[in-house]
Amino acid sequence: MSDHPSDLPDSDNTNDQTTDVSDVIHEPRLWRDEGWTARIIKNDDDDGWAVEMTREGEREPTLIGPWTMGRDKKNPKPMDKPAFNTLVKTASEFRRRSEQQLHAQLHKNITVDSAEGSIKVTLDIVPDDDFPYADLKAWDEAGELLAKVQVAPNFKLSAASAERWVEGGYRKPSSGG
């Protein structure tokens, strides 16, 4: 493939997911397209090869996996469009699952029964590098915010701690939950 711009595939520059046409690279060991870079590297663990998938704008690879040897059993198999598409799909899915797991760690909720009815208690951790904290909130059945207090990021939200907070009139809990 030539590096002449008219020979490169058209790109929709309005989509942040798409790499700018001038940034597209399709080489045997390096592909950059669709917001991803696939780089075939020597596998440090053995004599084989690995491929690392890095999302545009990020420093660390999202995914590193084994790569197939070429026919000469010495050099890596060259990257091609179907392999790149599969890697993009796999790395995107891995990234999505990681984000879901992080979200689950940072956002918890429990529903408790009280005299006022069911109360949903949420804990949203803000992992700030300098001043991490968490917001503890209570919501009624209609989705109205009843109370909000800031707690330590290590506050343990449990059915018992939520019930104590609700029954205590939404006063700021002691540290730890």
Closest C-alpha to 135, from 158, 116, 108, 102? 108
Instruction: Give the pLDDT confidence of 6-24 residue by residue, as tens digits.
Output: 443 443 433 444 445 568 9
Residue numbers of the domain that contains 136: 107-167
Distance CA 126, CA 151 (A): 10
Distance CA 94, CA 24 (A): 23
Residue 172: inside a domain, yes or no? no
Three-state DSSP class for 53?
strand
Same domain, 25 and 72: yes
User: What's the total number of domains in the chain?
Assistant: 2
Three-state DSSP class for 81?
helix
Residue 34: inside a domain, yes or no? yes
Instruction: Give the pLDDT confidence of 133-158 residue by residue, as tens digits.
Output: 999 999 999 999 999 999 999 999 99
Task: Specify whether the CB–CB gap between 112 and 119 falls below 8 A.
Answer: yes
